[in-house]
Amino acid sequence: MSKPILELKEIDVYYGPIQALKKVSMHIDEGETVSLIGSNGAGKSTLLMSIFGQPRAASGQIIYQGTDITQKSSHYIASNGIAQSPEGRRVFPDMSVEENLMMGTIPIGDKYASEDMQRMFELFPRLKERRNQRAMTMSGGEQQMLAIARALMSRPKLLLLDEPSLGLAPIIVKQIFSTLRELAKTGMTIFLVEQNANHALKLSDRAYVMVNGEIRLTGTGRELLTNEEVRNAYLGGH
Amino acid sequence: MDGIFLQQMVNGLTLGSVYGLIAIGYTMVYGIIGMINFAHGDVYMISAYLAAIGLAVLSFFGVESFPFLILGTLIFTIVVTGVYGFVIERVAYRPLRNSTRLAPLISAIGISLILQNYAQIAQGPRQQGVPTLLEGAMRFDVGSGFVQITYTKIFILIAAFIGMGVLTYIIKYTKLGRMCRATQQDRKMASILGINTDRIISYVFVIGAAMAALAGVLITMNYGTFDFFAGFVIGIKAFTAAVLGGIGSLPGAMLGGLILGVAESQFSGLINSDYKDVFSFGLLVVILIFRPQGLLGRPLVAKV
> What would the 3-class secondary structure string for B241-296 be?
HHHHHCCCCHHHHHHHHHHHHHHHHHHHHHCCCCCHHHHHHHHHHHHHHHCCCCCC
Q: Pick the residue with more confidence: A115 or B144?
A: A115
Q: What is the pLDDT of residue B112?
A: 97
Q: Is A92 on the interface with B (CB under 8 A)?
A: yes
Q: Return the exposure string of A101-115: e unless at least 16 CB atoms fall within 10 Å of the residue's CB, then b.
A: bbbbbbbbeeeebee
Number of domains in chain B: 1
* A residues 105..144 contacting B (CB < 8 A): 106-107, 110
pLDDT in tens, B44-81: 999 999 999 999 999 999 888 899 999 999 999 999 99
- Report how far residue A39's alpha carbon sits from residue A214's, in angstroms, rounded to the nearest whole number: 12
Residue B272 has what pLDDT? Answer: 87
- Residue B216 belongs to some domain of the structure: yes
pLDDT at B104 (0 to 100): 94
Q: What is the mean pLDDT of residues B271-293?
A: 90
- Does some domain include residue B268? no
Structural contact between residues B251 and B294, judged by C-beta atoms closer than 8 angstroms = no
Give the burial class of B183: count Cβ atoms within 10 A of its Cβ; 0-12 exposed, 13-18 middle, 19 or more buried: buried
Closest CA to B128 of B48, B68, B246, B73: B48
For position A56, what pLDDT does the model report? 95
3-state SS, residue B199: helix
Q: Domain for residue B41, yes or no? A: yes
Residues 6+ apart with CB under 8 A from B228: B45, B116, B117, B119, B120, B123, B125
Report pLDDT digits (tens) over B235-261. Answer: 999 999 999 999 999 999 999 999 999
Question: In what helix (H) or strand (E) does residue B143 lie, and over which residues does it extend?
Answer: none
A103·B175 Cβ contact <8 A:
no
CA distance B247 to B184: 13
Rounded to whole angstroms, the Cα distance separating A82 from B102 reads 35
Query: Residue B210: helix, strand or coil by DSSP?
Result: helix
The model's pLDDT over B102-135, given as tens digits with 9 standing for 90+, comes to 999 999 999 999 999 999 999 999 999 898 888 8
Q: Is residue B254 part of a domain?
A: no
Burial of B301 (0-12, 13-18, 19+ CB in 10 A): exposed
* H or E element in which residue A40 lies: none
**What is the maximum span of chain B, computed from C-alpha positions, in angstroms?**
65
| pLDDT score at A2 | 67
Report the share of chain B in percent with pLDDT over 90: 83
Domain span at B83: 22-230
pLDDT of B48: 96
Q: Is residue B284 part of a domain?
A: no
What was the pLDDT predicted at B304? 41
Q: Is A156 on the interface with B (CB under 8 A)?
A: no
Question: Is B277 within a domain?
Answer: no
- Nearest of B207, B212, B234, B226 to residue B52 by alpha carbon: B226
Q: Per-10-residue mean pLDDT for chain A, 238 residues long?
A: 87 94 96 92 94 95 96 96 95 96 95 94 92 94 93 96 87 87 92 89 94 93 88 69
Written as one string, the DSSP assignment of A156-212 is -SEEEEE-TTTT--HHHHHHHHHHHHHHHHTT-EEEEEES-HHHHHHH-SEEEEEET
CA-CA distance, A19 to A214, in Å (whole number)?
A: 10
Query: Does the distance separating the beta carbons of B195 and A75 come in below 8 Å?
Result: yes
- Whether B299 maps to a domain, the answer reads no
How many CB atoms are closer than 10 A to CB B153?
A: 22
How confident is the prediction for chain B on average, in pLDDT? 93
Residue from A54, A69, A74, A110 to probe the interface with B (highest B Cβ count within 10 Å): A74
Res B101 pLDDT > 50: yes
What is this structure's pTM?
Answer: 0.92
Task: Judge: A75–B181 Cβ closer than 8 Å, yes or no.
Answer: no
At residue B303, the pLDDT reads 44
Residue A173 to residue A185: CA distance in whole angstroms = 18
Confidence bin at B217 (pLDDT 50/70/90): very high
Q: Is residue B156 part of a domain?
A: yes
Chain B contact present for A87, CB below 8 A? no
